[in-house]
Amino acid sequence: MSVLMEVKNLKTYFNTEAGLVKAVDGVSYHINENETIGIVGESGCGKSVTQLSTIQLIATPPGRIVEGGVFFEGRDILKLEKNGQEMRSIRGGKISVIFQEPMTSLNPVMTIGRQLTEAIELHLKMTKEDAKKRAIELLDLVGIPSAKQRLSDFPHQFSGGMRQRVMIALGLSCNPRIIIADEPTTALDVTTQAQLLKLMQDVVREFKASLVIVTHNLGVVARYVERIYVMYAGRIIESGSCKDIFAHPRHPYTMGLLRAVPRLNEPKGKKLVPIVGLPPNLLNMPDTCAFLPRCPYAVEKCRQIPWPELRTLENGVHQTACHLDF
């Protein structure tokens, strides 16, 4: 499998009145062609900021990408001018984002048809007529009944699940190579979540694109992703194949996330165990492992030496940022 995008040592900091927040602090990962990956972690761990940084969508100030590179199609796209034509044609064209809340991403006073055709005309240079045909095909593809008629409807005329389908259609409208879905189904009920994730998986396969699912819920991604990166306090603390991570998590934080996920093969009535404590304050980060105050396995060494770097385990793929072997 060849690498489609590689993020290297990305650091995004925010200057706040209270001090410097290192929201993303040395994150590296890659996405292969035709692959689905999951970026998982609690709210505030830096997973969304990482994704927004890769397409230069961080508001400056207060945010700033201070280091790192994002290599896509043979060059570092962080070196492109943020609002220049090249970066704009990558953002929304070759790399598209599906956000959690469609009502804030869709224009409430523009019909769905216009929003779709505008994006298609801009990025694919199609005529109005062809763009309209394409918009109908896309709405059909994402399961919106009577697609042709619905082109003239406004976002508020769709249900939550249908709006998210429209967002997926919009995300696909420019034949992207990478789709970033940031908590794409969080606001929806469990059945609609499953339908939409399956739909995303199917259309991404059909389009031969790659998909990045960003979520706080490890359970959500289990059936859809090939590899997982787990983030904590602005860093990746474990990565590996979905199978390895579910079968044998190697970092206590990932173990905690898994214990909080219901599993079908466990006895009925088994209690889910939340991770105790709160994520660290990014304004006041310790030198030692950031998970230390919440870690049930911490030993003296964890209190003495700095936060470990990611290390590769025996299978050559799985990585953990923990001093201990599990």
| Contact between 252 and ligand SF4 per CB under 6 A | yes
Give the shortest CB-98-to-ligand SF4 separation in angstroms.
32
Give the C-alpha separation, 313 to 36, whole Å.
Answer: 22
DSSP-assigned beta bridge partners for residue 178: 95, 210
Give the C-alpha separation, 78 to 302, whole Å.
Answer: 35
Give the shortest CB-75-to-ligand SF4 separation in angstroms.
36
Give the shortest CB-319-to-ligand SF4 separation in angstroms.
13
Nearer residue to ligand SF4 within complex by CB, 110 or 278: 278
Task: Judge contact between 45 and 39, C-beta under 8 A.
Answer: no
Q: Residues near 184 by Cβ (< 8 Å), separated by ≥ 6?
A: 98, 99, 100, 164, 167, 168, 196, 197, 200, 213
Q: Residues near 248 by Cβ (< 8 Å), separated by ≥ 6?
A: 326
Nearer residue to ligand SF4 within complex by CB, 138 or 295: 295
| Contact between 295 and ligand SF4 per CB under 6 A | yes
| Contact between 289 and ligand SF4 per CB under 6 A | yes
Nearer residue to ligand SF4 within complex by CB, 114 or 248: 248
Give the C-alpha separation, 305 to 141, whole Å.
Answer: 53
Q: Residues near 54 by Cβ (< 8 Å), separated by ≥ 6?
A: 5, 7, 10, 70, 77, 95, 180
The per-residue DSSP string of 49-79 comes to HHHHHHTT---TTTEEEEEEEEEETTEEGGG
Of the candidates 297, 312, 315, 317, which one interacts with ligand SF4 according to CB under 6 A? 297
Give the shortest CB-287-to-ligand SF4 separation in angstroms.
12
Give the C-alpha separation, 88 to 122, whole Å.
Answer: 11
Task: Give me the torsion for CA of 299, 260, 198, 168, rounded to 10°.
Answer: -80
Task: Judge contact between 13 and 22, C-beta under 8 A.
Answer: yes
| Contact between 291 and ligand SF4 per CB under 6 A | yes
Give the shortest CB-308-to-ligand SF4 separation in angstroms.
6
Nearer residue to ligand SF4 within complex by CB, 180 or 302: 302
Nearer residue to ligand SF4 within complex by CB, 168 or 295: 295
Convert residues 301-320 into a mask of x (bound to ligand SF4 by CB under 6 A) and - (unbound): -x-----x------------
Of the candidates 162, 298, 318, 319, which one interacts with ligand SF4 according to CB under 6 A? 298
Interface region with ligand SF4, contact rule CB under 6 A, candidates 115-123, 146-154, 172-180, 293-301: 293-301
The per-residue DSSP string of 123-146 comes to HH---HHHHHHHHHHHHHHTT-TT
Residue 218 CB: number of other CB atoms within 10 A?
Answer: 23
Q: For helices 128-141 and 112-124, give the axis angle rounded to 10 degrees.
A: 120
Give the shortest CB-262-to-ligand SF4 separation in angstroms.
24
Convert residues 197-236 into a mask of x (bound to ligand SF4 by CB under 6 A) and - (unbound): ----------------------------------------
| Contact between 27 and ligand SF4 per CB under 6 A | no
Of the candidates 292, 312, 314, 317, which one interacts with ligand SF4 according to CB under 6 A? 292
Nearer residue to ligand SF4 within complex by CB, 65 or 322: 322
Structure tokens at 136: 């109908």
- Tell me the site size for ligand SF4, rule CB under 6 A: 12
Of the candidates 95, 147, 221, 322, which one interacts with ligand SF4 according to CB under 6 A? 322
Q: Give me the residues that bind ligand SF4 (CB under 6 A), please.
A: 252, 289, 291-292, 295, 297-298, 302, 308, 322-324
